[in-house]
Amino acid sequence: MSALQLNDVYLARQRIEALVRRTPMEYSPSLSLRLGVAVYLKLESWQITGSFKLRGASNAVAQLSAEQKARGVVAASTGNHGRALAYAASRQGVKATICLSHRVPANKVQAIRDLGAEVCIVGQSQDDAQREAERIAREQGATLLPPFDHPAIIAGQGTLGLEILEQQPDVAQVLVPLSGGGLFAGVALALKSASVNIVTHGISMQRGAAMHASLAAGHPVEVDELPTLADSLGGGIGLDNGYTFSMTRHLCDHVHLLTEASIANAMRHAYREERLVLEGAAAVGIAALLDGLIEPRGPIVVVVSGRNVDIDQHLRVLAGADA
């Protein structure tokens, strides 16, 4: 496991306290009734840029030297990290270049451009975008800030875990969307540091779950990136992964994979029962509960990670589509 410590998360909170929102924790009557135990939703979808990613991006930019800020930052993203980094960089007068694959939804691409970042669209996968970001960093001297496998990013995301502990001190289980592992690693580090008895669940989709495949293989592996409602969870974890793979392997109690139909059902439930507009990746925890994958032992906290869904896609899902 990496040398990242709980103190890194507390230091991150000090840096970003004025830059991000402390998001609400809401009791879910519908899910609590269904499971027979208290279920709470940690609404990171209410974060300033619409997802949890602003925490890690703000912490990473805040730690750059004056020289690094002058040279700018670059990152590959499935959308939300790019949006968060563009926002965090703009607040500190730093140029941001965001590399995206052609699979990133148009609404997320436009949101990044609207924040003043330079956008490069290349290839058909997160790995393609990552290679382009690495090339720009080498040739232009920009600081590469990856979406998950970076200690400052992980520590920033871990501040969400601190809030969970403060808002629901007797939490028994936490459900966290699982992709590259930055969110999961940071949150689980905070939770397990408080109590090893808190059960951590990583939730992903069946279509291209890179961290799940890597955990099963015992080392980082590449997977095909496939179309999915949970597009924010797509992409590889990097064959040279330095942090999130080992942290997830050490801190994750269970991993659950979901069908597209289950994710769509959860998006509909979030809208109709919780009055929430969510992207597919943010609804996976709700889907795991609706599918009966989680032992009904509470209190349960579900991390609702973002709302940056293409509105036309959301309308199709509400009308009954599973894609």
Q: Provide the phi-psi class of 183: left if phi over 0, else alpha when psi is between -120 and 50, else beta.
A: alpha
pLDDT digits (tens, 9 = 90+) for 250-299: 999 999 999 999 999 999 999 999 999 999 999 999 999 999 999 999 99
pLDDT at 300 over 60: yes
pLDDT, position 127:
81
Main-chain dihedrals φ then ψ at residue 51, nearest 5 degrees: -160, 165
Tell me, yes or no, whether 175 and 272 share the same domain: yes
272 with 194, same domain: the answer is: yes
The whole-number average pLDDT for the span 184-197 is 97
C-alpha 99/C-alpha 93 separation (Å) is 19
pLDDT of residue 34: 97
φ/ψ of 315, rounded to 5, equals -65, -40
Please tell me whether residues 299 and 215 are part of one structural domain.
Answer: yes
Whole-number Å distance between alpha carbons of 265 and 322: 8
Compute the half-sphere exposure of residue 226: CA atoms within 13 Å on the CB side of its CA: 12
12 with 99, same domain: the answer is no
In a domain? residue 241: yes
238 and 96 in a single domain? The answer is: no
Q: Which two tokens stand for residue 294?
A: 């989680």
The whole-number pLDDT of residue 1 equals 44
Domains in the chain: how many in total? Answer: 2
Model confidence band, residue 105 (pLDDT cutoffs 50, 70, 90)? confident
* 231, two tokens: 């597009």
13-69: pLDDT as tens digits: 999 999 999 999 999 999 999 999 999 999 999 999 999 999 999 999 999 999 999
Q: Are residues 115 and 15 in the same domain?
A: no
Q: Are residues 154 and 132 in the same domain?
A: no
Averaged pLDDT, 217-227: 92
Q: Please report whether residue 294 resides in a domain.
A: yes
Among residues 105, 120, 144, which one ends one of the domains?
144
CA distance 231 to 161: 23
What does the block give as tokens for 107?
């609404």
Indicate which CATH number applies to the domain containing 289: 3.40.50.1100
pLDDT at 2 over 60: no
Instruction: Check whether residue 273 and residue 202 sit in a common domain.
Output: yes
Report whether pLDDT(234) > 70.
yes
Q: Out of 122, 144, 166, pick the residue that ends a domain.
A: 144
Per the domain annotation, does 21 fall within a domain? Answer: yes
Confidence band, pLDDT 50/70/90 cuts, at residue 225? confident
Range of the domain at 99: 54-144
Q: Which of 144, 167, 197 is the last residue of a domain?
A: 144
Asked if the structure places residue 307 within a domain, the reply is yes
Asked if residue 303 and residue 177 are part of one domain, the reply reads yes
Percent of the chain with pLDDT over 90: 86
Does residue 87 lie within any of the structural domains?
Answer: yes
Average pLDDT, the chain: 94
**Residue 266 included in any domain:** yes
Same domain, 101 and 248: no
| 133-149: average pLDDT | 94
23 and 133 belong to one structural domain: no
pLDDT at 80: 86
Q: Are residues 34 and 126 in the same domain?
A: no
Would residue 323 count as lying in a domain? no
Residue 66: per-residue pLDDT: 94
Looking at the DSSP assignment, which residues form a beta bridge with residue 119?
Answer: 98
Residue 14 covered by a domain: yes
Residue 211: its pLDDT value, please?
96
Maximum separation of any 2 CA atoms in the chain, in Å: 57
Residues annotated catalytic, as ranges: 53, 305
